[in-house]
Structure 1
Amino acid sequence: MSVIDWLLAGDPAIRWQVRRDLLDDPEGAALDRDLVAREGWGAALLAMQREDGSWAGGAWWPAERPDPDDGQPWTGTAHVLMLLVRLGVDPGSRPVRAAVRRAFDGVRWEDGDAPFLEGEDEACTLATAIAVGAYFGEDMRGPVRRLLADRRRDGGWNCDPPARSQRSSLHSTIGALEALELYRRSREPEPAVAIAMEDAHALLLERGLMYRRSTGEVIDPAFQRFSFPPYWHYDVLRALDHLRSTGSPPDPRLAEAIALVRSKQTSAGQWPLENTHRGDVPLTLEDGDGRPSRWNTLRAMRVLAWWEGA
């Protein structure tokens, strides 16, 4: 079985993106995308929604929080909706529209009791609300203005308040960038959004996606281990896939990051899952760390196709 055949043997959420990004098969992609809400992971996630519109009874946190030693729970509404976005569920699908409407109308954030689409005051939940709202066609101009106002002096974002840190976090910055890219696709061009994204991209590129600007050392070894779903965590593959998604030409400063991606390909042509984030999850999408990962393989292959096609 070829790597492409192996990918196409996966869930509809994998298949439609393989057809779109690797096979240039828009008709096949559309047919598989239509299945995401009705079969496999997407359908299973939609079936978990509660009558109050939430998943697990809360916005960021489930109603019943587990022991902190068990890790961050990923079962709350924000994480499930973001997972549906990553699966590429059709936002126009009738069951999807009904589910997100119930969530937007019924779920409120834990800190401040704001409606879901308003987000909270910090960049992580605000970016999540923007990403989900923009993907599903909501007007997110107000939350975007708040996110832009929360930029740090170096051009990125930090989910800690400015009083605690004026320096950006790559975790917070990649989440904000992904949200702004989804917002950018949903509207006419806005200069302020373009400028903010350019500045944040420069921050990533100056660091080669993983190095300290001051010493040249790797900021965090976890950045070099690829996970899916990433949740709020940054890694090099996630950053590369974001840059690819913007349609920007590859930058020469990405050469070492690309070499890192290539180094992880196995003799079978696949990429493994490396860094599953601890905590309760709504669904298990992969076979575990060290095993071949369809998500990492798909994303690595489309990043390399982008790089090599420049």
Structure 2
Amino acid sequence: MNDTTTSRNDDSTPSAAVRDWLLDTDPALRWQVERDITRAPGETWQATRSRVATEGFGARLLAEQDADGQWAGGAYFPAGYFGSPEADEPGQPWTATTWTLKDLREWGLDAEVLEGTAEKLAANSRWEYENLPYWGGEVDVCINAFTLATGAWLGADVSQLAAWFPAHRLADGGWNCEAEEGNSTRSSFHSTLNAVRGMLAYEKITGDASLRDARHGGEEYLLSRQLMYRESTGERVGEFIDQFIYPDRYRYSALAALDHFRDACRHEETPPDPRLAEAVDVVRGERQPNGTWLQDGRMPGRVWFDIDVAPGQPSPWLTLFGTRVLDWWDHET
């Protein structure tokens, strides 16, 4: 371990015990700890990252892939979900293709491991909404954001889907999954964060910056509200702001938003926006005396297997995100 933080005198610095605890995790998490927390050499964290395909969480999800390229036989929901007893269970299943690929991409799986999957999905996978082809996306902005990023990662042609985002921005600058059905004309924190995350991933993977203006507009929507407040009343938008969970699937929180802004600033080599300060205070306030963050809950729904700890327990994933957000803020502002 190459520890470059021991001389820093601030509360974003994890203790040796926390660093060791974070390193004693699945390769999907460990390589990020090595890169972002312990500042290990590139060859170290890249070697760990390569193990995602053959060990632990990544290998377990890869083993569940269907011969037609899908997972659980469906695009967003498992095959046969609607009308089945499973449809009456709390939440929704998180086992179908879109959710599984989102996890694998965010865990750092090398796309070459899934060679041929983009073509199989083009041939075999259709959205449950109007039977639309997979790589064209559908009408839900969150689904389209996940698909845009995953398509870029797997080398699919998602150019038409990329053009969807500027065309469907709302007048206030963001996006809302309810807008396409005519149920809302105001942007959503959840939808807007998913949109800007998807566009940033697309830009980082492809080098195509054509969506940057649209992404900046969505980011400005969040920044103008300090990531937390309604513009109309100045009240917090919801209790989800300081409820940190992993996996968060599509759900917004101050921590998830800050992790995006960290990623965006590092990509564009820009300093943190001062309007993030209150959200940073929220994240700092949730940090436990031992330097960890607790799992605040789980989104209900069927999973292939549990990825993180039970509610109320110290979460390695949330501790990675919280630590790297505070480290970025404390040393770049």
> Smaller-chain TM-score range?
over 0.9
- More displaced 10-residue stretch of structure 1: 100-109 or 265-274: 100-109
How far has the Cα of 1:10 moved from its partner?
0.2
Letter in 1 for 2:57: W
* 1:120 match: 138
- Given the alignment of the two structures, is residue 19 of structure 1 paired with residue 37 of structure 2, yes or no? no
- More displaced 10-residue stretch of structure 1: 33-42 or 279-288: 279-288
Is the 2:247–2:308 contact (alpha carbons within 8 Å) kept by the matching residues of 1? no
Q: Please give the alpha-carbon distance, in whole angstroms, between the structure 2 residues aligned to 1:19 and 1:194.
A: 29
Q: Which runs of 5+ in 1 are unaligned?
A: none
Q: Please give the alpha-carbon distance, in whole angstroms, between the structure 2 residues aligned to 1:254 and 1:288.
A: 29
Return the TM-score normalized by structure 1: 0.94
Distance change in 2, residues 1:138/1:270 (3 Å): same
Q: Please give the alpha-carbon distance, in whole angstroms, between the structure 2 residues aligned to 1:144 and 1:239.
A: 21
Is the 2:294–2:314 contact (alpha carbons within 8 Å) kept by the matching residues of 1? yes
Q: Please give the alpha-carbon distance, in whole angstroms, between the structure 2 residues aligned to 1:138 and 1:68.
A: 34
Letter in 2 for 1:86: E
* 1:146 match: 164
How far has the Cα of 1:100 moved from its partner?
5.0
- Given the alignment of the two structures, is residue 42 of structure 1 paired with residue 61 of structure 2, yes or no? no
Choose the corresponding residue for 1:87, options 107, 122, 132. Answer: 107
Query: Between Structure 1 and Structure 2, how many residues are aligned?
Result: 307
* 2:21 match: 6
Q: Please give the alpha-carbon distance, in whole angstroms, between the structure 2 residues aligned to 1:301 and 1:104.
A: 39
Choose the corresponding residue for 2:244, options 210, 223, 226. Answer: 226
* 1:255 match: 277
* 2:9 match: none
Using the aligned pairs only, state the percent identity: 40
Return the TM-score normalized by structure 2: 0.88
Choose the corresponding residue for 1:268, options 290, 295, 300. Answer: 290
Is the 2:148–2:199 contact (alpha carbons within 8 Å) kept by the matching residues of 1? yes
Is the 1:80–1:282 contact (alpha carbons within 8 Å) kept by the matching residues of 2? no
Q: Please give the alpha-carbon distance, in whole angstroms, between the structure 2 residues aligned to 1:32 and 1:106.
A: 33
- Given the alignment of the two structures, is residue 164 of structure 1 paired with residue 183 of structure 2, yes or no? yes
How far has the Cα of 1:40 moved from its partner?
0.1
Choose the corresponding residue for 1:291, options 309, 313, 316. Answer: 313
1:294-309 alignment, distance < 5 Å? 294-309=316-331
Q: Please give the alpha-carbon distance, in whole angstroms, between the structure 2 residues aligned to 1:174 and 1:32.
A: 29
What is the root-mean-square deviation in Å for CA atoms of aligned residues? 1.6
Letter in 2 for 1:270: T
The list of structure 1 runs, each at least 4 consecutive aligned residues, that deviate by more than 6 angstroms after superposition, is none
Choose the corresponding residue for 1:135, options 153, 158, 163. Answer: 153
1:55-70 alignment, distance < 5 Å? 55-65=71-81, 66-70=86-90
Q: Please give the alpha-carbon distance, in whole angstroms, between the structure 2 residues aligned to 1:131 and 1:200.
A: 16
